[in-house]
Amino acid sequence: MQDIFLVIPLILLVTLLLINKKTVERLTNDKCDITDRKIKLLEEKMKIEKIQSKELPNIEMTEMINKLDEKIKELNEKINKQEEEKKEKEVEEKEKEVEEKELEEKEEEEIYSGISAWNTLIEDNYVINGILIFFLLFLASVSLYLFFTYAFAYNKKNQLKLDKMNVKYDNILDDIKKSKVKDSLKIKKGSFFNFLK
């Protein structure tokens, strides 16, 4: 079963490689097209100049060379325009980025201006600092006092270990009556049988 999981991706990769070898990507770019045309025109011009150098100068050939030069100049101008447009776009994008950063900084300044104002007020004013320290110490002392009182109360409660009382109210009253009767009689030990002696 595990072998199938290994074979399936391998088959997919092989099919993708085979399919990709047959496909050819065609990229179209105006600059590439213009440069290709320029190269072709330069090649034609070179051929004509070679022919002209071998033969006597001819008016037709010079006119063809002049036309090719004009076309090459036009293509150069187009290439320069495209480069300028590209540079202008880059400059515009940079300007937009700078503007966005400035807007973000302004928003942050607006958000944090109140906080920074309070911060400078606290840092510069010794009275406020003193009051803050006093309240912090007061809060700390109150919290420590409460902590220790609850800790000691809990400790005392655990030290007493009072068992839960399961005694009924009637039993408690009976015990109280017996103790009152014993206190009222006050019989001394051994005094009841004194007459026998």
- Bigger pLDDT: 187 vs 139: 139
Q: Does residue 130 share a domain with residue 85? A: no
Least confident span in 16-20, 46-50, 70-74: 16-20
pLDDT at residue 142, as a whole number:
95
Could you tell me the pLDDT band of residue 191, with boundaries at 50, 70 and 90? low
Q: Is residue 84 part of a domain?
A: yes
Say if residue 53 is in the same domain as residue 88.
yes
pLDDT above 80 (res 164): no
Q: Which two tokens stand for residue 147?
A: 């902590």
Domains contained in the chain, number: 2
In a shared domain, residues 105 and 68: yes
The answer to whether the beta carbons of residues 48 and 65 sit under 8 Å apart is: yes
- With CA atoms as reference, report the closest residue to 45 among 60, 70, 64: 64
Q: Are 61 and 103 within one domain?
A: yes
Decide if 184 is inside a domain. no
Residue 91 domain flag: yes
Residue 1 has what pLDDT?
A: 54
Q: Which of 121, 152, 171 is the last residue of a domain?
A: 121
Domain, as residue range, for 141: 125-161
Structural domain ending residue among the three candidates 91, 121, 151:
121
152 shares its domain with 109: no
Residue 62 domain flag: yes
Residues 80 and 35 in one domain: yes
Q: Is residue 167 part of a domain?
A: no
Q: Per residue in 35-69, pLDDT tens? A: 777 788 778 777 777 777 777 767 777 787 788 88
Q: Report residue 2's pLDDT band, with 50, 70 and 90 as the boundaries.
A: low
The pLDDT value given to residue 97:
93
Q: Indicate the pLDDT class of residue 20, thresholds 50, 70 and 90.
A: low
Are residues 93 and 142 part of one domain? no
Residue 162 is predicted with a pLDDT of 47
Q: Give a yes or no: residue 44 inside a domain.
A: yes
Same domain for 104 and 46, yes or no, is yes
Do 69 and 93 lie in one domain? The reply is yes
Q: Is the pLDDT of residue 103 over 70?
A: yes
Per residue in 79-97, pLDDT (tens digit) is 888 889 889 999 999 999 9
What pLDDT sits at residue 29?
Answer: 53
Q: Are 56 and 32 members of one domain?
A: yes
Instruction: Return mean pLDDT, the chain.
Output: 76
Q: Are residues 117 and 129 in the same domain?
A: no
Q: Is residue 74 part of a domain?
A: yes
pLDDT in tens, 112-132: 887 777 777 777 788 878 888
Looking at 60, 92, 121, which one is the last position of a domain? 121
Q: What is the secondary structure of 21-84 as a DSSP string?
A: HH-------HHHHHHHHHHHHHHHHHHHHHHHHHS---HHHHHHHHHHHHHHHHHHHHHHHHHH
Which tokens sit at 75? 């293509």
Per-residue pLDDT tens for 146-162? Answer: 999 998 888 877 765 54
Residues 112, 70 share a domain: yes
